[in-house]
Amino acid sequence: MKNKEIKELKNKPVEELEKLLRDDREKLNTLRFNLIAGKVKDVTELRTVKKNIARILTFLKINEINQKYGK
């Protein structure tokens, strides 16, 4: 992800972040099954999906903390 895409993620509402998280987790599962089956040629895609999931979880946690402390 580029910095611009990361900033866009930061400004998205919680509902949209949760939807993206579900989609990325499904994509990761599909990639893992395809990797075992030998269908995946670009293994680095697994790494990027995992990083995207981590970023989304981070922004969800930041939103939760901000709501808790009223920021």
Query: Whole-angstrom Cα distance, residue 28 to residue 24?
Result: 6
Output the pLDDT for position 50.
97
Output the pLDDT for position 30.
96
Output the pLDDT for position 16.
96
Output the pLDDT for position 2.
81
Does the reported pTM lie above 0.75? yes
Residue partners of 5: CB distance under 8 A and separation at least 6: none
Write out pLDDT tens, residues 50-66. Answer: 999 999 999 999 999 99
Helix (H) or strand (E) holding 25: helix 14-37
Query: Whole-angstrom Cα distance, residue 52 to residue 60?
Result: 12
**71 pLDDT more than 80:** no
Q: What structural domains and CATH numbers belong to the chain?
A: 13-69 (1.10.287)
